[in-house]
Amino acid sequence: MASFWAWFWNERFWLPHNVTWADLADPAPGVEYPKAEHLFCAFPLAIALFVIRIMFERCVAGACARHLHIQSGVGRRAQPNAVLEKVFVSITKNPDSRHLDGLSKQLDWETRKVQRWFRHRRNQDKPSTHTKFCESMWRFTFYLCIFTYGFQFLWQCSWMWDTRHCWYGYPYQVLTPGLYRYYVIELAFYWSLMFSQFVDIKRKDFLIMFIHHLATVGLISFSYVNNMARVGSLIMCVHDSSDFLLEAAKVANYAKYQRLCDSLFIVFSVVFFITRLVIYPVWLLNSTLFESWDIIGPYPSWWLFNVLLLVLQLLHIIWFYLITRLALTAILRGKTQFLCSPSGMREKDPVFLSVFVQ
């Protein structure tokens, strides 16, 4: 096991040339550098966030839902039927014509009645509008708070106004309390989302979202461990800037404020375009690729970090194409409400994977 950890923490991968872990292990009094063990604090904080989320959804979001007359129950339930339930659980939740014909004969039901039973049964497993409203309201609140905190913190930082300060003196850059809190809270939030997936109502995008949360946790941790936290904080803030708008639009949709939902979706789309297709490549990728090359030069983890950021930019392009296609389809069909409908938004939700976010 010791040989594995020695290989994993190889200095020649993680650190620039002529820098060792020993150089970073014993800083001057009052000076702290990012260390991997700092990230363990995210686990108890993730549990605390999960508890806060439950209390928020029950007390605050639940009260708002009741005030807006959002029902907590599901729609029409399927009538109990042991044969169909066994097929639904063990074989298929969406039977083809062959299965439908066989079940129709076995039960002496019309085929449409069997189809209706499966539709009602599938709907039973879907979260209610009340549940989705509370979940989106929690995410909106968190994203808005973390974006506000991050923006206020970065406003006072030199590297927000001159990204070359992300690399001056690297990797001997002091970890400030504000930067540490920003990172640990973001990391804890995504850990809490991973925990909650296993106790929430299971959705069809479970695997996609689990991979997203896992990738986000991995990349936040990666940028912290090799002390690219300054540029990482900028990337997180850029991504956070649009996430709360998406959740706000979903909240408006579940509350049936359709015009507000459509307006928020339009604002979200504009902000997404500006932050992820303009600011991110022109400001941040330029810094990670070119400014860092000039100041510190490349090394193995630098290459990996930039490859991942370029992949993220490719995903931004794909995601914005999907947003645009969704909007154009809705406009051409004359159904702008689709923009914020559960089918439109929930299916798009895993798309906003923002590696340093969302």
How much is the pLDDT for 357? 30
Q: Return all residues near 123 (Cβ < 8 A) that are at least 6 apart.
A: 74, 75, 76
Question: What's the whole-number average pLDDT of the chain?
Answer: 84
* Percent of the chain clearing pLDDT 90 (strictly above): 48
The pLDDT > 70 percentage for the chain reads 88
248 — pLDDT class (breaks 50, 70, 90): very high
Predicted local distance difference test score (pLDDT) of residue 333: 67
Q: Are 68 and 116 in contact (CB under 8 A)?
A: no
Whole-angstrom Cα distance, residue 147 to residue 239? 9
Q: Is the pLDDT reported for residue 151 higher than 80? A: yes
Label each residue of 177-189 as H, E or C: HHHHHHHHHHHHH
pLDDT of 343 reads 40
**In the block, residue with structure tokens 């974006």:** 147
Its pTM stands at: 0.82
pLDDT classification of 356: cutoffs 50, 70, 90: very low
What confidence score (pLDDT) does residue 202 get?
A: 65
Per-residue pLDDT averaged across 272-297, rounded? 95
Long-range (24+ apart) CB contacts under 8 A made by 280-285 are 280/235, 280/238, 280/313, 280/316, 281/313, 283/163, 283/234, 284/163, 284/231, 284/234, 284/235, 284/238, 284/309, 285/309, 285/310, 285/313
* Cα angle 283-241-314, degrees, rounded to a multiple of 5: 55
pLDDT tens figures, 49-68: 999 999 999 999 999 998 98
